[in-house]
């Protein structure tokens, strides 16, 4: 009851209080929201349920190298005569897993440390800001390239953890700035007066008012993580294990697919899959921005 009374002092507590169902209804009213939601759902289902229906083609056929699309091979064949569609279906799971895990990890670090740093202040705030400034000045991708020479990234989880552990500083600074503003609001002052505790105030009162901003930045973190891992795999800086779209691009490059006129489907298919997923995330983030900041939809 005390928590409710504190929240009632800020009736316009912000779009972070919107229920998930209400957000979904608003997404379905936006063309970009529908496109983004359908696109993300399609790629998630394709990557995680598609392999159950489409077996991976491991049969090499030198007589069918770089065949154009046909009924038997809707996206043609690769440099070994294997079906490209089956590789696309089986190639998204690892990339989506790393992107999601890295995005969640970096967002969790940024939001937790940024909010606590701004609210607690003092030496803790100074320490967090100092560490953030140090990490922020280190170029992320070159550091990942250097680390790949010392750490053998054979695990998708390890790759996601490393990418996520290096991607939080920018969001942390933004979260810290917003919490510094929010903690002066009346509903936070009331929560302090009721002695609800730091954890309950930060995670129960302050952060829910920033939920829209956090979700949008989670999407951007996923897109950055996707590009980072694709770049590392394309450059051969991590072992080419498993089947994913980035490995397909790397093999197309190192095995000279660019020099074959009929290999266009093999080159463009994984690129189109990566671009399609990223574009769906961008559309989804754009729709969420319009929901959580109505001034954007009015063009003001």
Contact assessment for residue 269 and residue 46, using Cβ atoms and an 8 Å cutoff: no
The more confident residue out of 276 and 264 is 276
Asked whether residue 16 carries a pLDDT value surpassing 80, the answer given is no
Q: Please name the residue that has the structure tokens 């983030």.
A: 285
Residues with Cβ within 8 Å of 20's Cβ and at least 6 positions away in sequence, in order, are: none
**How confident is the model over 81-123, as pLDDT tens digits?**
888 999 999 989 989 999 999 999 999 999 999 999 988 888 9
258 vs 275: CA distance, rounded Å: 19
Contact assessment for residue 102 and residue 164, using Cβ atoms and an 8 Å cutoff: yes
Contact assessment for residue 234 and residue 250, using Cβ atoms and an 8 Å cutoff: yes
Average the pLDDT over 6-21 and give the result: 43
pLDDT band at 12 (very low <50, low <70, confident <90, very high): very low
pTM over 0.85: no
Residues with Cβ within 8 Å of 45's Cβ and at least 6 positions away in sequence, in order, are: none
Asked whether residue 300 carries a pLDDT value surpassing 80, the answer given is no
Domain chopping of the chain, boundaries: 20-55+75-92+244-300, 95-210
Predicted local distance difference test score (pLDDT) of residue 11: 36
- The overall average pLDDT reported for the chain is 82
E strand or H helix at 129, and its extent? helix 122-136
Predicted local distance difference test score (pLDDT) of residue 108: 95
DSSP string, 140-199: HHHHHHHHHHHS----HHHHHHHHHHTS-HHHHHHHHHHHHHHTTSHHHHHHHHTT--HH
Asked whether residue 160 carries a pLDDT value surpassing 50, the answer given is yes
120, 250, 258, 271 from 7: Cα distances, Å: 20, 53, 60, 47
Average the pLDDT over 203-226 and give the result: 87
Predicted local distance difference test score (pLDDT) of residue 243: 77
Task: Name the token pair of 79.
Answer: 């440099």
Asked whether residue 173 carries a pLDDT value surpassing 70, the answer given is yes
Per cent of the chain over pLDDT 90 is: 33
Asked whether residue 150 carries a pLDDT value surpassing 80, the answer given is no
């Amino acid at each position: 009851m005390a928590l409710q009374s504190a929240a009632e002092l800020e009736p316009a507590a912000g779009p972070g209080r919107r229920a998930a169902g209400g957000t979904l209804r608003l997404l379905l009213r936006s063309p970009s929201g529908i496109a983004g939601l359908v696109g993300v759902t399609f790629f998630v289902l394709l990557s995680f349920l598609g392999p159950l229906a489409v077996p991976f083609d491991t049969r090499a056929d030198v007589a069918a190298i770089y065949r154009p699309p046909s009924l038997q091979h809707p996206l043609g064949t690769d440099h070994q005569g294997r079906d490209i569609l089956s590789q696309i279906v089986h190639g998204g799971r690892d990339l989506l897993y790393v992107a999601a895990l890295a995005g969640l990890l970096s967002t969790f670090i940024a939001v937790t440390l940024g909010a606590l740093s701004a609210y607690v202040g003092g030496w803790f705030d100074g320490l967090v800001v100092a560490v953030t400034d140090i990490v922020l000045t280190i170029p992320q991708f070159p550091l990942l390239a250097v680390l790949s020479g010392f750490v053998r990234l054979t695990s998708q989880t390890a790759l996601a953890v490393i990418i996520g552990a290096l991607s939080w500083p920018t969001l942390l600074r933004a979260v810290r700035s917003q919490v510094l503003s929010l903690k002066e609001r009346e509903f936070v002052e009331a929560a302090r007066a009721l002695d609800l505790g730091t954890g309950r105030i930060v995670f129960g009162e302050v952060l829910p008012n920033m939920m829209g901003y956090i979700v949008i930045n989670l999407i951007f973190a996923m897109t950055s993580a996707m590009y980072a891992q694709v770049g590392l795999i394309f450059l051969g800086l991590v072992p080419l294990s498993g089947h994913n779209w980035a490995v397909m691009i790397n093999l197309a490059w190192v095995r000279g697919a660019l020099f074959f006129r009929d290999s266009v489907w093999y080159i463009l298919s994984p690129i189109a899959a990566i671009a399609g997923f990223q574009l769906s995330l961008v559309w989804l983030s754009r729709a969420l921005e319009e929901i959580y900041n109505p001034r954007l939809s009015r063009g003001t």
